[in-house]
Chains A and B, each alone.
Chain A
Amino acid sequence: MSEDAHRWLEQYPELGTGPISTEPYISSQWYEREKEKIFRKTWLCVGRADEIPKAGDYKVKKLAAADTSVILIRGKDGQIRAFHNACAHRGNTVVTETDEETFGGGKAAIVTCRFHGWVYDAEGRLKQVPSEKRFYDCFSKADNGLAPVHCDSWEGFIFVNVAAEPETSLLDYLGDYARHFAGYPFEALDYGFTYRTYLDCNWKVAHDAFAEAYHVDTIHAGSFPNVFSTGLQNVKLMGPHRSCAVCLTLGAKPTPIAAIANGLARASLVSRSAETMLPPSINPDKRGDFAFELSVLFPNTLIHVSEGIWFTHQFWPMAHNRTLWEGRYYVKAPKTCSERWATEHAMTLQRNAWLEDTATMEDTQRAMQSRAKLFQHLQDDEILIRHGAVIVDRFVNA
């Protein structure tokens, strides 16, 4: 082992080296505290502004970990606002939700509760109550708009914070993380796919599986053979958030088909590429083997960026041992048939890799719940997991 085997410990000694308890992964009481101290207090990334492009478009997102669901609606003024999906009348959901995310809209820019027809506009005002005269004098439409949720956006990502008064603004919450990624062309790379599934594991089990590259040589031996072995580079801890570079092994040989695809379109992470669109803070040393930046936007959003590709993972807790995982992958829209083929090839490989990733998670949870092992042992290149555990502990015990 090289002498820098403990380089991240040297850079971030405050994180320590000890084993990490499995209790926060398997305790329902701990999860209740995470809901209260993390998911009801921090800014959560709930979508992209281009998912609701027109005035009146809305998206409703369930947030089980914050015990609510939020309506994100674009007003006639173009602004996106967020409200709890709860009617002022008798508490029904205003928009009937058909899935984790429910989309709708119309140029009227309103939502109507289907129970008794109460109508709210995109500013949350109660616009109409059928048979309003039958309500008593103490009832006032002006006092019974939708309950607002704090909402802001950064680089096209929409965030909400369900706290009555967030402790910080979104930009202060993001801090150096926002500066680290500022300028990356997220919006221009808008062609992609989304996978979503429920996993019987704690949200941190899912987070941890994606927050290191140590597993690539074993788990991804099939889809990405012998490509990552230089470890993490440029680990950067930024408040509760974290980021690092994952690098390719120079000279690794792609399969013949992958080599053709890589030559036709920049859609796979596992290929060399010139750097034209990365902000200066990413791969600052211009390493030739840089593959992608792997980052965690606390608490539950991972954003990965590379030349011509970005993707996110989100882990939405449903219970202490159940998680909704959403993976979204974005590239530049292909212009030719061959680019389209190459893009589909890359996406299929990525899907396979994600299947390999998610396949470990339920096993990990079951084994942890046996309590046969009460601690996890992390090596130096698993520093993002260690940082995550320290930050979760800090929030929960704050």
Chain B
Amino acid sequence: MRERLCASGDLPEGEVIQVDLGDGRMLAVYRLEGDVFATDDLCSHGDASLADGFIENGEIVCPYHMGRFDIRTGEATGAPCSVAIGTYRVQECDGEIVLIS
């Protein structure tokens, strides 16, 4: 199943945006070196929106406590975060970024 997340133009290179799936799930959607990725938006440590954080070396840095996650794998890579976040399969086609499930 494909679910539209946003238009390609909504997500510039090196940026992250928050997408509300409307069913209680909130994703952080990233464009990194040309590819698109998605993770849970909620940090596993605090209750911060990761889309409010910033990207550094392929990691999303949480704005609350500067913990880090690998954007590609969801692995917690920087304290105080220690629990991985979920990742999702996304694709870009016909000017849209879509969630594949």
Contact = CB atoms under 8 A, between A and B. Distances in A.
Contact of A128 (B48, B52, B53): B48
Interface in B41-69: 45-49, 52-54, 63-65
Contacts of B47: 127-128
Contacts of A130: 45-46, 65, 80
A128 B63 CA distance: 12
Interface of B is mostly: loop
Contacts of A112: 63-65
Contacts of A106: 52-54, 63
A130 B46 CA distance: 7
Interface string A274-293: 00000000000000000000
A112 B48 CA distance: 12
Interface of A is mostly: loop
Contacts of A128: 46-48, 64
B9 to A, nearest CB: 19
User: Is the interface on chain B under 10, 10 to 19, 20 to 34, or 35 or more residues?
Assistant: 10 to 19
B52 A119 contact: no
A76 to B, nearest CB: 10
A133 interface: no
Interface string A109-135: 110100001010000000110100000
A107 interface: yes
Contacts of A108: 48-49, 52-53, 63-64
Contacts of A119: 46, 48, 64-65
Contacts of B48: 108, 119, 128
Contact of A110 (B45, B54, B63, B80): B63
A128 B53 CA distance: 16
A110 B49 CA distance: 11
Most chain B CB within a 10 A radius of its CB, from A108, A112, A130: A108
A107 B45 CA distance: 19
Interface in A15-35: none
Interface string B68-96: 00000000000010000000000000000
Interface in B26-52: 45-49, 52
B65 A117 contact: yes
A128 B49 CA distance: 12
A119 B48 CA distance: 10
Contacts of B63: 106-108, 110, 112
A128 B45 CA distance: 11
B80 A117 contact: yes
Nearest to B52: A108
A130 B64 CA distance: 10
Nearest to B54: A106
A117 B53 CA distance: 16
20 contacts: A106-B53, A106-B54, A106-B63, A108-B48, A108-B64, A110-B52, A110-B63, A112-B63, A112-B64, A112-B65, A117-B64, A117-B65, A119-B46, A119-B64, A119-B65, A127-B64, A128-B48, A130-B45, A130-B46, A130-B65
Given A106-B53, A108-B52, A110-B63, 12 more contacts: A106-B52, A106-B54, A108-B48, A109-B52, A110-B52, A112-B64, A117-B46, A119-B48, A119-B64, A119-B65, A128-B48, A130-B46
Interface of B: 45-49, 52-54, 63-65, 80
